[in-house]
Amino acid sequence: MNLLTRGIIKDNQDCKCGFCGEEEEDSKHLFLECSMVRWIWRACAKWWGINVTLGADCWNTFQVTGRELKEKGVREGWDCIWNSLVWTVWLARNQKTFQGKEFNREKLLELIQLKSFQWITAKKERYAFTLTDWFLNPVACLEDGLRKRRVPYK
Ligand SMILES: [Zn+2]
């Protein structure tokens, strides 16, 4: 029984994804299958210089995408991207659904980059890179932070 048959929503259009308007919205569509969100995943992967294979569900995708990154600090950084992508898409979906606010995919990518920068630099004091550095080469930023950690304290 879906939301329509249970009387929670009034017509079938209410079930459609707010981003693409083509498919019924559920978590798999919203975070993995929506054409707009797939573009964002590909853009994040290109930004990181990695391949991203979207899995059968969100948890599977989280595990699969992190597995390719061997360096723990870099993997932590990618986890941060993953979390900020899901969080940003969810907030944008809610703002569109409940406030009618429009987002384009480039704006969402920028928000993901900014949010992940704020989260990663707040979490690790050794990551002393700028927002510009993060936008240009996030992996180099994380690798630099890892090298600093390995230098013995004098
Ligand atoms: Zn969609």
At 128, the amino acid letter reads: A
pLDDT tens-digit map of 81-139 = 889 999 999 999 999 989 999 989 999 999 999 999 999 888 777 778 899 999 999 98
At 35, the amino acid letter reads: S
Return the DSSP state at 73.
H
Return the DSSP state at 29.
I
Alpha carbon of 145 to ligand 1 centroid (Å):
37
Alpha carbon of 103 to ligand 1 centroid (Å):
13
Alpha carbon of 133 to ligand 1 centroid (Å):
32
Task: Tokens for 69, please give them.
Answer: 């990154």
pTM attached to this predicted model: 0.81
Alpha carbon of 68 to ligand 1 centroid (Å):
27
What angle separates helix 35-48 from helix 105-123, to the nearest 10 degrees? 50
pLDDT tens-digit map of 4-63 = 566 655 555 568 898 998 889 998 999 999 999 999 999 998 998 888 888 788 878 877
Alpha carbon of 150 to ligand 1 centroid (Å):
44
Alpha carbon of 6 to ligand 1 centroid (Å):
23
Alpha carbon of 129 to ligand 1 centroid (Å):
35
